[in-house]
Each structure stands twice: as structure tokens, then as C-alpha cells.
Amino acid sequence: MQGRVAPTVVVGLDVGTSGARAVAVDVGGEVLAEGTAPLPAYGRALPPGWFEQEPSAWWHAACAALRAMAAGLGGRRAEAIAVSSTSGTVCLVSADGSPLGPAIMYSDVRSGTEAAEAQAAGYELATALGYRFSPSFALPKLLWLARHRPADLARARWFLAPADYIAGCLSGEWGVTDWTNALKAGYDLLAGRWPAFIAGLGLPPERFPRVVAPGEPIGRVSARAAADTGLPAGTQVLAGLTDGCASQLSTAAVAPGDWNSTLGTTLVVKGVSDRLVCDPQGRIYSHRHPEGHWLPGGSSSTGGEIIARRFPATELDRLNRAALGRAPTDLIIYPLARRGERFPFLYPEAEGFALGHSSDEETLYTACLEGVGYLERLCYEVLEQIGFVVGDTIYAAGGANRSLAWLQLRADITGRRLAVPRTSGAAMGAAVLAAARLWYGSLTAAARKLVRIERVFEPRSELRGAYDQRYGRFVAALTERGYLRGP
């Protein structure tokens, strides 16, 4: 009797700021094995606003996560792997991929002066694509290195994003990136090339990587990487994508009109548009969809951080159980935990506020959940004002999905159903990308097959009037403070 043929497997790997996660998925979307590994704390003290990590620590965490995943596969072999990681982070490497010092992370803000310089030089491109160069972008960081560490820049053969570095460690192929990771380094998504103004800034164009589509084969897992990771030698290594784009794919928000809300510490909204729509206020920017559409998105400074700051983690289960019974509250809260907002409005001096007061902890907690819901509703209304099409269903991801009460309140307030996938996150999205390349021929087909919607939360019509009235008060308060202006 012949033995059964083991199911084919693809792997998604995400390397984030706190650790790595690997997910192995079969052709039906079943998660066969997972592995995670933390990143160690960075050992050097840094000036305020600086954030660095060691690329070698990314690789060690990636290897540990992949080994843990491989151990759970029971002998099944991976066909391909795609990698996601942070967008805007800069890593300098030699010709053989050796890191030339720590990477400057996406959240590092030291390059404010250089961001203004990049914006001035790249104004036409930034205007055409609808964004502004900021210190979170890779190009200003490279300019900072040119001004302050020219010897490091001169020694570098390649300027890479973290996903490019990990793919190089896996395959031994260096100097390749994908167009989602290339965007913040100044890549021209419309012309499909690195623009001439980069050389005018004094940065050598030949050290920028070759750009390919996400999912494009770039090499195979080497024997050395196979020994380090537990992956079979010869496994295809595919060009990856940014963690934000990967997280979006993991929710099945892949067709025009689809939108995804990822709610964790902050709220990130990303969608799909069949045309490039530019925001004159620069609140959003768009990646290129692997199938030719556009992936617009915006990141709020507001989100679950207010919950983490105000309420003990040990009390959240009790507070969530009480929330639906307290809603709708009469408290109107703009739940900004820090100073400054990015989306749905740009206002660096914005501060959180509350209209009304309650000494009842359960009411206050519910009002904070509602406040994030009001902001999410405003995000989608602003997107529609700019000219985007937003469907009736929002695909939800992020740590906030653990609160079923919050999901229901967000559906009630936005007036849209929330669809929650069983498995989401950047690693799962990278696996969807790999499956699209190998098995389905289309990202839309792969997402529809692999992503399993576990729960759907419908807005409760009986609360619509109450929440319309409260949302109006929320918008009026933002307008009175000067935070909001026209589209």
C-alpha cells in the first residue's frame, strides 16, 4: 500500500521589533505549525528619539522561530517562504551580507532635518504618490548616515530593509527588495525605478537594491540556512513585503473596496483601491498591490494604548463582560494617550480629552472603547471624503480582537460589520503571499481560500440613533479644538 502524500506547505515569517513569528500553512488554509522567538533588549543607551537594533538579533530570532515551527511540521516539507518586517528601517550590509553596525529603526526620529531635505528634493514624486518624507522613512535615515557616519555609508554595498536582510540570510542572494519595502527609501512606484533625485542628494544609486514584485522568487534556502532554521535546503525564498501590508493580506482585505482595521497599541487602517487617490493633507500613503491595485493606509496615534495605561490587565476580562451593559455611555472621550495625532487628522499638538465625567470604572472603560470606535468611524468617513470606496465590511485584526465587546461596539458605532479571521498577523499574510505565487496564481484567490473568517459582528440597528448623536458630539469637539478641517 502506498503511503499518503504529505500536504504541501508554505511559510510566512515576520520579524518585528519585539520578536519573530513563523507560520506554516497548507493549501486549504490550515495552520499546521507556528513558532515564535523574542528579541533581546538592545544593550546600548541611546539619545532620546533614537531607536536601533542589531540585524544579527533579527536573524537569531528568525532562526529560533523557524526551528520551533519546523519541529511541529512532522516531516512535512515547506515549498516556499516569504518574509515581512518593519517599513522604513535601514540596514547597511557588505557584499556578503555582513551588517555594518546597528540598523536605524522606523520609529527613530533623528533625521528630521534630512526629512525636510528629502521632501524638497523629491517633492514631485511625493506629490504624485500622495505622501511626505518624514523621519520614519528610510531615505532621510540614509541621508543622516551620509552626513554623520559617512565612513559607514561608504563601506556599505547594499542599503536594505529588514525583510531584505532576512531573505538574504536565507538564500545568500543580496541586493533585492520588493516595492512595498522600497517605497520609504524613495522608490518611484509609478515609473518603476529609483528616481534621479537620489543621486542628487549624494547617495550612490548602485547601492540601492534591485526592486521586484512581492512574491517574486529571489533564491532558495542555502544549506547553511537550512541547518540554522530547520527549513529544507532548496525551499524557495520569495520577495516579501512590509509588515503592515502583510497584516492586511492576512485578513482577506485584498480586493478594491476592502478595508482592514488593525487595532493594537494604535489603530491602523489599510485598504484596496483600483486607482491612486492622493490626500492633499498627506495623512495617508499608498503601497502598490501585487496585482496592480493600490494599498492606501493611515496610522492613528490613538488606539489600545489608552486601555493599557488606565486599566490593569488583570481587570480586563471583568470590564469586558460589563461593557455591553454600560453602552452607550454619555461620556465622549478622545482616547489619545500621547501628544499629537497623525490620522484621521494631522495635528502635532493634539491632546486627549473627555466630555463628562464618571467615577464608575466600568463606565469609564466602556467610554474608552467607544472613543476608539468614534475615531475609527471618523477614519472611514475621511477616507470616503478623500475619494476612496469603502465597503460595508471591515476586516479586523490586532490584539483588540481579544475583546468581543469592543468588536461589537466598533460595529455599532461605525455602522459596518466587522469580520474577524481565525489567524491574522504579518506572518500569516506573508504565507498568503507565498501561496498566491505557488498555488493560486492570484492574491485574491489565495486570500479567499486561506483566510478563514471566524466571527462576524453586525451593527445593532437599535443603537444607531444613540451612537449617531454621540458621534456628532465627538466630531464637534474635535472641530472646536481646531483638530479637524475640511478634506
Ordered DSSP codes for 354-402: EES----HHHHHHHHHHHHHHHHHHHHHHHHHHT----SEEEEESGGGG
Considering the domain delimited by 9-245, tell me its CATH architecture: 2-Layer Sandwich (3.30)
The three-class DSSP label of residue 7 is coil
Q: Please, what's the largest Cα pairwise distance for the chain?
A: 77
The pLDDT assigned to 398 comes to 85
DSSP readout, 409-473? HHHHHHTSEEEEESS-SHHHHHHHHHHIIIIISSHHHHHHHH--EEEEE---GGGHHHHHHHHHH
HSE, CB side, 13 Å, CA atoms: give it for residue 358. 17
Q: Cite the DSSP H helix spans in 193-242.
A: 197-200, 223-229
Angle between helices 361-386 and 404-414 (to 10 degrees): 50
For the chain, state the CA radius of gyration: 22
Task: Indicate the CATH number of 252-422+452-480 among 3.40.50.10490, 3.40.50.880, 1.10.287.3510, 3.30.420.40.
Answer: 3.30.420.40
Contact between residue 77 and residue 9 where contact means Cβ atoms under 8 Å apart? yes
The pLDDT assigned to 281 comes to 87
In the chain, count H helices and then E strands.
Answer: 17, 21
HSE, CB side, 13 Å, CA atoms: give it for residue 250. 31
252-422+452-480 and 9-245 share a CATH fold: yes
Per-residue pLDDT of the chain (487 residues; tens, 9 = 90+): 344 445 589 999 999 988 999 999 999 889 999 999 999 888 788 999 899 999 999 999 999 999 999 999 988 999 999 999 999 999 999 999 999 999 999 888 899 999 999 999 999 999 999 898 989 899 999 999 999 999 999 999 999 999 999 999 999 999 999 999 999 999 999 999 999 999 999 999 999 999 999 999 999 999 999 999 999 999 999 999 999 899 999 999 999 999 999 898 889 899 999 999 999 888 898 999 988 899 999 889 899 989 998 999 999 999 999 999 999 999 999 999 888 898 999 888 999 999 999 999 999 999 999 999 999 999 999 999 999 999 999 999 888 899 999 999 999 999 999 999 999 889 999 999 999 999 998 999 999 999 999 999 999 999 999 999 999 999 999 999 999 986 5
What's the rounded Cα separation, in Å, for the pair 115 and 231?
40
What's the rounded Cα separation, in Å, for the pair 392 and 479?
26
Contact between residue 467 and residue 412 where contact means Cβ atoms under 8 Å apart? yes
Q: Domain-by-domain residue ranges, the chain? A: 9-245, 252-422+452-480
Could you count the other beta carbons within 10 Å of the beta carbon of residue 303? 26
Contact between residue 256 and residue 289 where contact means Cβ atoms under 8 Å apart? no
Contact between residue 169 and residue 163 where contact means Cβ atoms under 8 Å apart? no
Helix (H) or strand (E) holding 13: strand 9-15
End-to-end CA distance of the chain: 68
Q: Is the peptide bond before 205 cis (omega within 30 degrees of 0)?
A: no
The pLDDT assigned to 32 comes to 96
